[in-house]
Amino acid sequence: MRFTLWGVRGSIPVPGPHTLRYGGNTTCIEVRTDDNDLIIFDAGTGIFQLSQTLFKEMPLKAHLFITHTHWDHIQGLPFFIPIFIPGNSIRIHGAADPVTQRGISDVLARQMEYAYFPVREAELNARIEYVNLHERQEVQVGCAKITNLLLNHPVLNYGYRVECNGKSLVFTGDHEWPYNIYTPEDDYFEEFEEMVAEKRAGIMEFFRGVDALIIDTAYTIEEYPSKLGWGHGTFDASIAAAREAGVKRVYLTHHEPNRSDDRLEQVFQEAVARAALGPGDPEVVLAREGLTIEL
């Protein structure tokens, strides 16, 4: 199994001289199974670059898994070229929405409404299927098994775990470690604490022992207090989680749009130094657009 990062930026694409090394595109990850089956996590602007590499494989079968439907994870979808070409087959997986009680099929149809896009979803030439995933539902793609777990973000966000011939990978999508909304003097403090601990333990189990954990690491610990509840992780929390879950390598992603390459490297190195990693700890890598890793 191997994966390629096509977009590592959070929130909004930021092309320009300050993001040349790590990239300005929003989230998209290509995963190839040992049989070269194509799995894609998220359809941020990075998916456009990915789509340029796929022409030689057409007619194509793509298995797209959406972690959540915030713009930076879906805005490239109408520009995923294979959807316009007959003979291609795209299966889009994701969570249904408890607020609107509508399925993941809305994701493309709504982006492609008349006011926002010149081509309607109904006019797409590829065969497009939608799969509303239940939590922990298993999906088989060739030799790979993909499962999901609900993580914590201001909209439903599934983290995905892929296992293929003994290798494994987790991508969190966007995730903030759940925290207690009560203070110790509140009645609910202790029971909430227990529920948070249980949730964390479930997530740890989901991450357990993977070869690669690709995790939302938007903020520094200095920035975090003013971003509480925004649904993103910190360098320190991501490294600590990777360590606790015994993962082999952790890729820190969802870089802040305002963070230049130089600054990104600086805050990364500071966090790694703070973590004082030792033997047996995971290798910590800063996610970079274009990076391909063979597991």
Partner 1 sequence: MSTSQARLIAMVDRMPAFPQTVGRILEMTARPDCSPKDLVKVVEHDPVMTMKILRLVNSAYFGLTRTIRSINHGVVMVGINTVKNVALSVAAMGMLPRKNQAGFDTNEFLLHSLGVATVARLLAGRIGVGEKSAPDYFVAGLLHDFGKVVLAQFMPEELRRALELAMDGSQSLHLAERTVIASDHAEIGGLLAASWQLSPELVGCIRHHHDLSVNGDWGIMRDCVFAANQIVRSLGFGDSGNRVIESFPPALEERFGHDLPELIETIGDITQELEKAKIFLKL
Residues that bind partner 1 (CB under 8 A): 95-101, 103, 132-137, 150, 152-156, 178, 181-182, 186, 188, 190-192, 194-196, 198-199, 229, 231
CB 66, min distance to partner 1, A = 15
For residues 36 and 101, which CB has a smaller minimum distance to partner 1 in the complex? 101
CB 153, min distance to partner 1, A = 6
H-only helix segments in 31-129 = 46-52, 106-111
- Whole-angstrom distance, CA of residue 88 vs CA of residue 51: 12
Grouping H, G, I as helix, E, B as strand and the rest as coil, residue 94 is: strand
CB 5, min distance to partner 1, A = 26
Q: Which residues pair with 292 in a beta bridge?
A: 4
CB 3, min distance to partner 1, A = 26
First-residue to last-residue Cα distance in the chain:
6
Using a 10 angstrom Cβ sphere, with 0-12 exposed, 13-18 middle and 19 or more buried, the burial of residue 184 is exposed
CB 79, min distance to partner 1, A = 28
For residues 203 and 239, which CB has a smaller minimum distance to partner 1 in the complex? 203
Distances (CA, A) of 155 to 19, 112, 132, 203, 251: 28, 21, 15, 17, 23
For residues 16 and 98, which CB has a smaller minimum distance to partner 1 in the complex? 98
For residues 87 and 229, which CB has a smaller minimum distance to partner 1 in the complex? 229
CB 174, min distance to partner 1, A = 11
Which DSSP state fits 51? H
Phi, psi of 241 (to 5 degrees): -65, -40
For the record, the structure tokens of 18 come out as: 């300050």
For residues 206 and 251, which CB has a smaller minimum distance to partner 1 in the complex? 206
For residues 32 and 70, which CB has a smaller minimum distance to partner 1 in the complex? 70
**Contacts for 61 with CB less than 8 Å, ≥ 6 apart:** 37, 38, 88, 89, 90, 91
